[in-house]
Structure 1
């Protein structure tokens, strides 16, 4: 049975013909009608980038909360329930509070055109403005410059995670163009933490920062992070930290942890906060081991893992992380959207996996058909077949490849579907 908020969210999907239409005009109009909640937020940390935004935000939140701070957090997309997008002073928004802000935004907007992401972002900002907290973490939905989150005049800090090629249909075909969109979150005089970047992306970010007199704290220059003897070492001008490896699995999480720690240090937080960022963060569907539920039962004797990464850079990071786990044969269950570079994602994974079962993502209009995904998998050297759903795919692999490690991957939308199906 649907919650009242689900009914409003369904109506909001119909307020604009396009799912994505990058401009801030509609957002400004609605924020004005709501009394400009974006001007009344606790200090904002705004996070853009291609990969690692969610993990970096999760670590930053864990570090801040360890100091006793109350933290609002906004992220997208959700996996199982919309409520996951809005965290109020440390707790997921409850149904009554969500319904109230959605209803208020719907009434203020009236019949005017506005995208689903825009109106729901305004609802999140309204909720954040009304509940006291010490910080607000805003994760960009897409790009940065014209993203609905980019309405805060003077954030406390900005963060740009590694930029790579993704969403070309909206952000541009070159790395420089995409970096320019991400750098759109930079603000006059506001410090920015910059994760590891290719030179062309860093040049664009630095040029914009120079125009805005925004101080940059750049990976490899102002701060460094690396793995050494099974520990994580972070170093900046304040000194050196010897920390445990991140609770989130994968070598790429060391880089994400580095950005979170650089942000915490810029905010004046101590080494205990930095250690908590690394050890206490939780972030579903980022190389998450599933241990209970019907899918795990169907995978009898096999390990079952879930990851929502979906572009070429994510494929590289995922292959590297899987290569570090105790050795087991690897098989994949994969479903992707038709807007993604499927071969770019699968190519690095083909080096570590033996087989793939392809799915169409249930309920997603933009899913790649399972047979197209299977064809792309064969193109990069994987043995591939198709299945009706995740349960059938996992059962097939458990029977044909007993004792293997099964990774469900390719899309956050598929990951959300799996988490719902698995209870």
Structure 2
């Protein structure tokens, strides 16, 4: 196996600085940011996004809206920080609209490693500090920050006064870090609220919303809540958004799936709160790009392996993700739908499978290559069978695809279950 080089080698070295992959506290981040002369205090205005599902899609739509030419201007320059990456780490750091370059990333990582002086720090923490350093040094109009995990103790939660915060739908996930109940998890997400800073709140279960509203009241943070201050729905093949500023009739989101209606609603509420016009809002729903969220694969080795097959890729990995995929497939033209699924052993696999059962013709389970927390293919197969989906294990995605083509050369195939599997597929499929 070839040795990593360049930024990959530095990233691999940074992974050894702390024994735990996830260890939620802000102490180590504050220490390193102080050593770097506090880049988090010099960022362009920050929009901070937490939530269980929809963070990335919402961020992508806001970015598309802010970057769109509007009112005679050329469009704003936007930094964006997201995680995890799919094919390359560089995807996590977008500087004024462009993915960070390899030389810039190497220099930043080296600088952060020197400033950290060998102290314990997690991979996510030190790379978040590197992103802040890049954002502070590169002129831009906005900084979009996606929370990595939770909110209250996430490494991104060090900006004292963001311009706006957003909480997308909260559901049960990452219980080992965030708590077992929805109110506990909502409390962690609500940790990004800041005194006096407005927050856009996507659709929530009542017990989650109550927690968010209570914290906002304590902080004097004005809320813009779905169902109260803004509404969004689909009508006659269009997206309709309404708030106190009036009604907008827009095209449906270009990101597929009915769940993208509510993500678009949060993005539109945010853009309106920032004073953007309808042209920016239309750009948000028509120009957003977000890979591995019901993404149609149209070229590459896997497509060539099964040219007649309709091939899709999605990285959703929790019960809410399973529901979103099922709702999307249910609205597609009728066609046998085969799943190729690989999942992590930290996820609620049966909760993910249950909503998919009515839509799935058959499931081929795979282990995720190179991922130590992969659920063995046989366990994923058994969970699918328990949910009522006919299932078998396969050695790889390609082997599963060949088996499906042998059964039905014109099937719809959805590769799903994990962003790590999605990233593997995007790397191997070019």
Q: Distance in 1 between matches of 2:175 and 2:330?
A: 29
Tell me the SS of whatever aligns to 1:295. helix
Tell me the SS of whatever aligns to 2:398. helix
Q: Distance in 2 between matches of 1:348 and 1:233?
A: 27
Aligned with residue 197 of structure 2, among 190, 194, 210 = 190
Per-residue deviation at 1:402?
2.0
Per-residue deviation at 1:396?
1.1
Q: Distance in 2 between matches of 1:83 and 1:317?
A: 28
Matches within 5 A, 1:261-276: 261-276=268-283
1:103 and 2:110 aligned: yes
What is the count of residue pairs matched by the alignment? 423
1:137 and 2:158 aligned: no
Aligned to 2:56: 54
Matches within 5 A, 1:7-86: 7-66=9-68, 67=70, 68-86=75-93
* TM-superposition CA deviations, 1:355-388 (whole Å, max 9, x none): 0000100111100000000010111111111111
Matches within 5 A, 1:281-320: 281-320=288-327
Tell me the SS of whatever aligns to 2:395. coil
TM-score normalised by the chain length of structure 2: 0.98
Q: Distance in 1 between matches of 2:37 and 2:153?
A: 21
Matches within 5 A, 1:121-270: 121-270=128-277
1:117 and 2:124 aligned: yes
Tell me the SS of whatever aligns to 2:275. coil
- Following TM superposition, the consecutive aligned residue runs of length 4 or more in structure 1 with deviations greater than 2 angstroms are none
Aligned with residue 411 of structure 1, among 413, 418, 425 = 418
Q: Distance in 2 between matches of 1:5 and 1:419?
A: 20
C-alpha contact 1:300 1:398 (8 A) present in aligned 2:
no
1:381 and 2:388 aligned: yes
Q: Distance in 2 between matches of 1:3 and 1:320?
A: 42
Aligned with residue 333 of structure 1, among 336, 340, 346 = 340
Aligned with residue 4 of structure 1, among 6, 10, 13 = 6
Aligned to 2:98: 91
TM-score normalised by the chain length of structure 1: 0.99
* TM-superposition CA deviations, 1:278-309 (whole Å, max 9, x none): 00001000000000011111123111000000
Tell me the SS of whatever aligns to 1:14. helix
Q: Distance in 1 between matches of 2:388 and 2:117?
A: 52
Per-residue deviation at 1:3?
4.1
In structure 1, list runs of 5 or more residues that go unmatched: none
Aligned with residue 376 of structure 2, among 358, 365, 369 = 369
Per-residue deviation at 1:81?
0.1
Aligned with residue 391 of structure 1, among 380, 393, 398 = 398
Aligned to 1:355: 362
